[in-house]
Structure 1
Amino acid sequence: MPLHSLRVAGALVALLTFSALGSRAADPLPAPIDPRGLPGPLVLGGGGKLPPDARKAFFDLAGKDKAKIVVLTTPDAQERANDLVKAWEELKPTSVVILHTRNPKKADDADFVKPLADATGVWLHNTDARNLITAYRGTLVEKELKKLHARGGVIGGTGGGESAMGALLVGVGEEPVAGLGLLPGFIIDEKLTKVIAARPTHIGLEIPDEAAVVIRGRVARVIGDFPITVHIAKGAGKPAANEEYKPGSLLDLVQLQRAAFNRAAKDSFPPAKPAAPVVAKGSLVIVGGGGAAAEIWKRFIELAGGPDSTIVVVTSAMEDPLAPESSEEKALKRYGAKNVVALHTRDRKEADGLKFSDVLLKAKGVWFSGGRQWRFVDSYEGTLTEKRFRDVLVRGGVIGGSSAGASIQSEFMPRGHPLGNTVMAAEGYERGFGYLPGCAVDQHFFARKRTADMTELMKEYPQYLGIGLDEGTAIVVTASTAEVIGKTKVAFYDTKKKPDGDKDYEEVFAGEKYDLKERKKIK
């Protein structure tokens, strides 16, 4: 099973308590990758022959015939670098320049770094990684290199040049040295199983000869002729993962990092004994997608205090660019809501600021849109805005949502993998916002024939109450009572009960109620 289908998530911010992680005091705390991704592309090649498609990828990302390429190396590898320059020149870029020194003072010279100022791509040639770091880290070269990456330029490398781009350089019998950090939290080398076991907050990336990885944003694509290996330490009840990814495979770097952080955390997710499914204050309206009927919208507006109340629609689950007005905003207005405000950002710093979510201080209702639930996590988890979402509930208000906006409300969040919605338990993205504790909520349930998916999830995590919401159907939760309204029915999965007939779930139809705490239909 590939690593991206393993299970266990964790709140990113909470997991960065380094003292609880057991990592070596000398190791730097891994910087979390911005959910928006790296600013510029990276091309990571194995230590030997660079695959032709990797060379072409770098050249294309550098601007093709408009490319201005700088080859960065040290004198011990200059001769081999000259051959590389000839290979780049055969592709007819605008320019190719080679820079080499072992002297940090020279690397700090303004004339020496001039070619980097307008470069579109920099290739870190295969040389000793520690020599590269000794020569260039903390100099104008490193500063210009990171400026290039920040403006969207591509950086690539093989061997030592590839390793230098990671968070740490490690070697047998050698003290770890900080790398350039272009790929935060990753160690790029070979024979990494023991290295990662000793540094569980890091991820190991092993790229053999004639293989490469191209990273754009937060997604890495494996190219070349051979698979790569991703190493992640044991934790959260799971063994160490040393997983191969074949050429053509995609990896989400943020998901991998979140998985590593969760495994290394003192209190990993999910807990063996989650809290009882009780909403202490306020109410929830959780819809299975496929469009909410008038009855559902009217109930939500009523629970929010009526048409004059302020209602916030959080649209961040949708893909950019967002429409000027979401379908949820239109529906709320159509059914009488007069004060509807949209809230959206991809910037976690903005979400953690005082002004961004001011409207939540007076809101009596929050509605989470459809889309992909992991985007809510990326934007708001651990921020002031997330706290203010919950405060609406604590004040006796209502939180609602459909599809992605349904699953984000449960403690366990199914289908959270950024690369697709088929993985029920996506390690790194299993934790929802938890307004409904002790539950895992799936949507589009009967319409998309998802009953078997929940069966498998319950086998993995029997401590949860599984809830499958059909399209056009909702549960309205107050305290521990879930009232089913809308078109059809809801499935409740309780592993403590023996299946009744050929179904391992209990069906509750519109107009009926279910006691979430007692796990039984209310007669």
Structure 2
Amino acid sequence: MAQKRGATLKFQICLGRAAWIAAVAVLMLVTMEPTESRGQSSENNAPPQAVFGPDKGTLVICGGGILPEALRGKVVELAGGEHARVVVISTASQTADTPDIETYVAWWRQQKLAEMTILHTRSRDMADTEQFVEPLTRATGVWFMGGNQAWLIDTYSGTRTETEMHKLLERGGVIGGTSAGAAVMTKTMIRRGSPTAEVGRGFGFLDGAVVDQHFVRRMRQDRLLKVIEQQPTLVGLGIDEGTALLVQGRRLSVLGDSEVRVCFARTESREPLIESLRNGDKADMRALCRVALTRQQPRVQRLLTAPQVSEGTLVIVGGDAVPNEATERFVAAAGGTDATIALMSIDGESSEVADAELMDRLRKAGVKSVQRVEVTSRQQADDPKLAALLKTIGGIWLCGARPDSFVESCLGTGAEQLCRDVLRRGGVIGGTAAGGLMQGDFLLNASPIPTKRMMMDGYDRGFGFLPGVAIAQRWQKGETPLELTQLQQEHPQVVGLGIEDSTALIVRGHTMEVVGKNQVAVLDGASDSASPRSSVLQAGDRYDFKDRARVSRKESE
């Protein structure tokens, strides 16, 4: 139900885990389409698997070898420190039934814990008894020792032991493990075998991925790539020795001395893709799964047309500082001070202060009706109440810091179509930061995954309100943005626009005009020359996309 809080309208939808996973499946459906289908969701893609780790708890997935003390210490910390009640499961170890096991649990015995229990059996019947699982019912943390991961699964899967471990995560506990204890974390796991792996069922603490351990040290990349090639919607997570991957919900972070390699399968249209995450790097599991699913789609040749806004007006700001003239032009294009204007906020509560400043700016420009609408999910973006609210709006200002948030929340949804409807009525779409980048056709450096790649599958296209264009912001004066130069090498027909801070573009028809304090770089490879043609525009200059030429204000008048 729509709720009003100040000047903000929120469309709140409460989703359980299963419903949210289904919603993410819908999110994944939007991939690259021909220009004619912009604003429409694809319905032909198979839904992905669930993509989250524990909602409340944490996984500490270690790649084996000699672990820095900080990794196991992280498990103790998350389990409650001196108040922690830790269960060490030794079943994967060959020494589990011998006195030698004490050598491997000595570190845990040395910690100041409220309680430490070693849990082990090789009997499924025993693992399914109330007496055996009793330590798990009060535990705040579990640690899986290394060894043979198949022994863990064959003993505990489908028993009360497994059930209690899931309950531990549900109450906010932590489950860590190394080597074999890492392999069992996912729903699909590698049981054994090299170079060809035998795959089976894991405990499913993390969905949408498959883990391989000792990854760099034992050169297991080819093994993992073969596994995900058979199940290409899975993301391969190769964790090296001395390194851990922390999983909290959809959030991933890396700790340790080496790396975690994120692997995507070879597909009919793409080679395998491997990205490296190191200590301190973070990633998003939902984003990784979006990349994996997008890569299953055949590459579609974009039908590039000459940049033109055939109806309505665009106001594209470089960064967050909006020039006064850009505000005035936006208000005029929306229908004047009597028009109703909406701020579409993608970042939700985290951007309330910045959004309020923009709303004040619009009110000072004379606008009487300004409202802020939060659209932080695809459910909100497709809510009929949003369509009813915006059906007569004269202008929409897109607010958001991260282009990947726009992609995940709005691309191919009703919210995008509402923006197109505003333009079709002769209105105006404005945008700061990511809200400006999204108005172009191609997205650059929008990947939520740490990468040196300029474009990432699933995060490489904007709304395309200005077709055939890619936009870069906050570039250094006097230099063509590097990402635009790289783009020209791969897509010479695309026009690259680099917009400095406190500068904006006003685009109508096939002409754009620069307003504000600084400059705009234009890089256009659609010419007969061997190298792209570049121009630097100052405030007051205009550029004609049809003639591919810069014209001064005097010439245009």
The alignment's TM-score, normalised by the length of structure 2, stands at 0.77
Aligned to 1:226: 258
**3-state SS in 1 of match to 2:505:** strand
Indicate if the aligned counterparts of 1:290 and 1:444 stay in contact, CA closer than 8 A: no
The residue type equivalent to 1:340 in the other structure is V
| 1:57 counterpart = 2:74 | yes
Larger Rg: 2
2:335 match: secondary structure: coil
Deviations 1:295-314 (A, max 9, x none): 21121122222323332212
Q: Distance in 2 between matches of 1:124 and 1:399?
A: 54
1:223-262 alignment, distance < 5 Å = 223-235=255-267, 238-247=270-279, 249-262=281-294
Q: What is the distance in 2 between the residues matched to 1:485 and 1:460?
A: 30
In 1: Cα distance, 2:267 partner to 2:225 partner: 14
**Equivalent residue, structure 1, for 2:142:** 122
Q: CA deviation at 1:435?
A: 1.9
Secondary structure of the residue aligned to 1:14 is coil
Report the alpha carbon displacement of residue 441 of structure 1 after superposing the two structures with TM: 0.9
Encode CA deviations 1:457-505: one digit per residue, 9 max, x unaligned. 32233232111122222222233332333334422211133679x9941
Q: Which moved more, 1:324-333 or 1:169-178?
A: 169-178
Gaps of 5+ in 2: 1-25, 32-40, 213-219
Bigger CA drift: 445-454 or 117-126? 445-454
Q: Which residue of 2 aligns with 1:485?
A: 515
Q: Where does 1:13-412 land on structure 2 (aligned, <5 Å)?
A: 13-14=29-30, 29-33=48-52, 39-72=56-89, 74=91, 78-79=96-97, 85-101=105-121, 112-170=132-190, 171-172=192-193, 176-189=199-212, 190=220, 191-216=223-248, 218-235=250-267, 238-247=270-279, 249-267=281-299, 271-317=301-347, 320=350, 322-323=352-353, 326-355=356-385, 358-369=388-399, 371-412=401-442
Distance 1:382 1:94 in 2: 52
Q: 1:439 aligns with which of 445, 462, 469?
A: 469
Question: CA 1:409–1:138 in structure 2 vs 1: closer, same or farther (change >3 Å)?
Answer: farther
Q: Tell me which of the two structures has the higher relative contact order, counting C-alpha pairs closer than 8 angstroms and 6 or more residues apart.
A: 1
Partner of 1:516: 545
Cα contact 2:282–2:450 (8 A) shared by 1 = no
Q: 1:224 to 1:371 in 2, by over 3 A?
A: closer
Work out the CA distance in 2 between the residues paired with 1:53 and 1:435: 49
Contact 1:256 1:428 in 2 (8 A): no
Quote the offset at 1:258 in angstroms.
3.0
**Residue in 2 aligned with 1:460?**
490
2:175 counterpart SS class: strand
C-alpha distance 117-353 of structure 1, shift in aligned 2 (>3 A): farther
Which secondary structure does the structure 2 equivalent of 1:368 belong to?
A: strand
For residues 137-176 of structure 1, give each alpha carbon's deviation from its aligned partner in whole angstroms, at most 9, with x where no partner exists: 4555444434443444322112232112124124557764
- Residue 415 of structure 1 and its aligned partner are, at CA, apart by 2.9
The amino acid of 2:292's aligned partner reads A
Q: 1:94: Cα distance to partner?
A: 1.8
In structure 1, list runs of 5 or more residues that go unmatched.
1-9, 22-27
SS at match of 1:505: strand
What SS does the corresponding residue of 1:323 show, helix, strand or coil?
A: helix
The alpha-carbon deviation at position 216 of structure 1 amounts to: 4.5
Question: What's the % identity of the aligned pairs?
Answer: 35
Which amino acid in 2 is paired with 1:91?
Q
Letter in 1 for 2:144: L
Q: Which moved more, 1:88-97 or 1:403-412?
A: 88-97
Q: What secondary structure, in the 3-state scheme, does the structure 2 residue paired with 1:388 have?
A: helix
Q: What is the CA–CA distance in structure 2 between the aligned matches of 1:299 and 1:342, rounded to whole Å?
A: 20
Partners of 1:196 and 1:204 within 8 A in 2: yes
Q: CA RMSD in A?
A: 3.8
Instruction: Tell me how far apart the structure 1 counterparts of residues 519 and 228 of structure 2 sit (CA, whole Å).
Output: 47
Query: For 1:460 and 1:437, how far apart are their aligned partners in 2?
Result: 17
